[in-house]
């Protein structure tokens, strides 16, 4: 089934080497969790408890992409993409995860075969080492990223990947959204490994300290991997390594000094927490003030290790929020509110109007002008080339809309267009090098299970996981084909 699309005339305003495509993560699409020697990850064990996902389902099957990868690559090729961002499963490569644990040859063979096929089809692999699925064995051994011991194991895993795949990969990403992993997994507790001080959520965890320790160990790990990449001879001409940070723009609720300060505090606690050490060295003074005395301290050697450790700014961005000072006492069970002291997030202006239209998830509102402000802020603050490594939306009631109506996702098309228009508007002042939409397929969307459909490809979960392109897939093929200059 092909859906007709009308794409207005588009000038080729993006450079010929501009990368575009879609993203996924290993646990969200691969399935086959114990096939060919793979070990279990924290997301295997976490999501198998039906209390942890909205529909009570796990990622055991996901979109079955471990077995259907050839079909997926053929579909991507038909979309005309030039890049595919995906992650490697640490436990598929080193089942027990540790530096002294055996490597799984079948895992190496699978990913080499997969990457070679991407390249043969004109698609550049954009490879993420860690997209939240830590081997369960390391979580059991020393509570994962709560322990500094994870750094050596992570660096060893990275070395195995560099040794086996660097000839096929030009763009490496060490960690996906360390801020989200630290907060959702160790503060709120609604994502793996599910630790929190809220005993209604988790039997163990300390929300006052663990997210900050985890964040620190993620930063040290990233810095150590960057050092290995550069000093180990892997940073050959044309190869880059960076980290991906989730950054949603915080717009002041109104023009008062209080709201402006609250918005600055929001940015410092949500994203500058990681960006400032990576690009400028150490935590910013505002981050130290907002996150408080439990924030670990970098040694001078650690600052040197982490500072300048990313060749680009990898940006995951979905929405913009209005920020003000709290209007009421923060509940003891509102872990995120207590973490970001003095910050309240809202989507309503003082006059009651909303910042953007409702989408299929409450936390995502299309606000393209906020994206523009964010790009300007990031380049002014950090001065790095930017790769958009995730950006996407769910249409209102998309999961409740039946076939074939669900395929007409004009809401998503408008979102993509509005956001890409901001990149084009800034093309002479902010160097954005690529745009990777989330997501290639509807997939296992973490705590939402299969209830959240971000894909440009519909997955028919009731009919053998059949892949059906949505209207947005056809539109983006035409639009990006016109917007990017020909080589």
State the DSSP string of 173-199: EEEE-HHHHHHIIIII-SSTT---S-T
Pick from 419, 348, 394, 439: nearest CA to 75: 439
- Computed over every residue of the chain, the mean pLDDT equals 97
- Percent of the chain at pLDDT > 70 equals 100
- Virtual torsion, Cα 377, 378, 380, 381, nearest 10 deg: 110
Please name the residues in contact with 414: beta carbons below 8 A apart, sequence gap of 6 or more.
Answer: 366
Q: Which helix (H) or strand (E) holds 171?
A: strand 171-176
Distance between CA atoms of 118 and 123, rounded to whole angstroms? 5
Distance between CA atoms of 60 and 438, rounded to whole angstroms? 21
Distance between CA atoms of 318 and 392, rounded to whole angstroms? 6
- Percent of the chain at pLDDT > 90 equals 94
Cross-strand bridge partners of residue 125: 84
The more confident residue out of 21 and 338 is 21
Residue 106 pLDDT exceeds 70: yes
Give the position of tokens 């939240």. 132
Structure tokens at 429: 């002042």
Specify the pLDDT at position 324.
97
Active site (catalytic) residues: 177, 390
Structure tokens at 111: 């990913």
Asked if the bond preceding 439 is cis, omega within 30° of 0, the reply is: yes
Structure tokens at 444: 């296992």
Specify the pLDDT at position 336.
86
Distance between CA atoms of 25 and 20, rounded to whole angstroms? 17
pLDDT tens, residue by residue, 304-354: 999 999 999 999 999 999 999 999 888 777 888 888 889 999 999 999 999
Specify the pLDDT at position 1.
65
DSSP single-letter state for residue 60: S
> How does residue 487 score in pLDDT terms, banded at 50, 70 and 90?
confident
DSSP string for 307-319: TT--SSEEEE---
Residue 27 pLDDT exceeds 80: yes
CA distances from 171 to 43, 87, 316 (A): 25, 12, 16
Specify the pLDDT at position 6.
87
Q: Pick one of 3.30.420.40, 3.40.30.10, 3.20.20.80, 3.90.110.10 as the CATH number of 19-483.
A: 3.20.20.80
Tell me the mean pLDDT in the region 212-226: 98
Tell me the mean pLDDT in the region 410-436: 97
Distance between CA atoms of 26 and 59, rounded to whole angstroms? 10
Task: Determine whether 102 is exposed, middle or buried from the number of CB atoms within 10 Å of its CB (0-12, 13-18, 19+).
Answer: exposed
DSSP string for 64-112: -TTTSHHHHHHHHHHHT-SEEEEE--HHHHSTT-STTSPP-HHHHHHHH
Residue 299 pLDDT exceeds 90: yes
DSSP string for 112-129: HHHHHHHHHTT-EEEEEE
Residue 206 pLDDT exceeds 70: yes
Specify the pLDDT at position 217.
98
CA distances from 88 to 40, 91, 161, 224 (A): 14, 9, 9, 19
DSSP helix/strand/coil, 474: helix
- Measured from the Cβ of residue 237, the count of other Cβ atoms closer than 10 Å reads 5
Specify the pLDDT at position 9.
81
Tell me the mean pLDDT in the region 466-472: 98
Tell me the mean pLDDT in the region 149-159: 98
Contact 476, 456 (CB under 8 A): yes
DSSP helix/strand/coil, 388: strand
Q: Domain residue spans in the chain? A: 19-483
Please name the residues in contact with 286: beta carbons below 8 A apart, sequence gap of 6 or more.
Answer: 264, 265, 268, 272
Structure tokens at 179: 């801020």
Distance between CA atoms of 135 and 137, rounded to whole angstroms? 5
pLDDT tens, residue by residue, 391-409: 999 999 999 999 999 999 9
DSSP single-letter state for residue 465: T
Cross-strand bridge partners of residue 357: none
**70: phi > 0 → left, psi -120 to 50 → alpha, else beta; which?**
alpha
DSSP helix/strand/coil, 148: coil
């Amino acid at each position: 089934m092909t859906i007709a699309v009308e794409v207005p005339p588009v000038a080729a305003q993006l450079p010929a080497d501009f990368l575009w495509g879609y993203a996924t993560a290993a646990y969200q699409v691969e399935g086959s969790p114990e096939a060919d020697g793979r070990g279990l990850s924290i997301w295997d064990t976490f999501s198998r408890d039906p209390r942890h996902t909205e529909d009570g389902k796990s990622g055991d099957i996901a979109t079955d992409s471990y077995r259907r990868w050839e079909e997926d690559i053929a579909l991507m090729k038909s979309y005309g993409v030039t890049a595919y961002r995906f992650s490697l499963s640490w436990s598929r490569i080193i089942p027990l995860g540790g530096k002294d644990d055996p490597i799984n040859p079948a895992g190496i063979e699978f990913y080499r075969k997969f990457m070679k096929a991407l390249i043969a089809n004109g698609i550049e692999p954009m490879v993420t080492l860690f997209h939240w699925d830590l081997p369960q064995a390391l979580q059991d051994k020393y509570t994962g990223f709560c322990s500094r011991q994870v750094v050596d194991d992570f660096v060893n895993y990275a070395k195995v990947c560099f040794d086996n795949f660097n000839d096929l990969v030009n763009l490496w990403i060490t960690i996906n959204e360390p801020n989200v992993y630290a907060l959702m997994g160790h503060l709120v507790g609604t994502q793996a490994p599910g630790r929190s001080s809220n005993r209604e959520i988790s039997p163990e965890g300390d929300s006052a300290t663990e997210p900050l320790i985890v964040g620190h160990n993620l930063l040290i790990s990233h810095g150590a991997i960057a050092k290995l990449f550069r000093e180990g001879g892997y940073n050959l001409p044309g190869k880059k390594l960076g980290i991906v940070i989730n950054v949603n723009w915080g717009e002041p609720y109104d023009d008062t000094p209080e709201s402006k300060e609250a918005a600055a505090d929001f940015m410092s606690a949500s994203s500058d927490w990681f960006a400032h050490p990576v690009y400028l060295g150490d935590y910013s003074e505002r981050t130290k003030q907002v996150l408080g005395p439990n924030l670990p301290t970098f040694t001078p050697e650690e600052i040197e290790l982490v500072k300048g450790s990313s060749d680009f700014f990898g940006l995951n961005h979905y929405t913009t929020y209005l920020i003000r000072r709290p209007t009421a006492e923060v509940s003891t069970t509102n872990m995120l509110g207590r973490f970001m002291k003095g910050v309240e997030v809202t989507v309503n202006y003082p006059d009651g109007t909303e910042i953007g239209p409702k989408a299929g998830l409450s936390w995502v509102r299309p606000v393209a002008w906020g994206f523009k402000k964010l790009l300007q802020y990031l380049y002014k603050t950090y001065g790095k080339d930017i790769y958009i490594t995730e950006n996407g939306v769910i249409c209102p009631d998309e999961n409740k809309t039946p076939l074939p109506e669900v395929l007409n996702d004009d809401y998503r098309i408008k979102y993509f267009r509005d956001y890409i228009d901001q990149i084009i508007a800034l093309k002479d002042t902010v160097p954005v090098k690529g745009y990777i939409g989330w997501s290639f397929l509807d997939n296992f969307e973490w705590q939402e299970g299969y209830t959240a459909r971000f894909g440009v490809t519909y997955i028919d979960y009731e009919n053998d996981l059949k892949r059906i392109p949505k209207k947005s897939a056809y539109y983006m093929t035409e639009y990006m084909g016109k917007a990017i200059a020909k080589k």
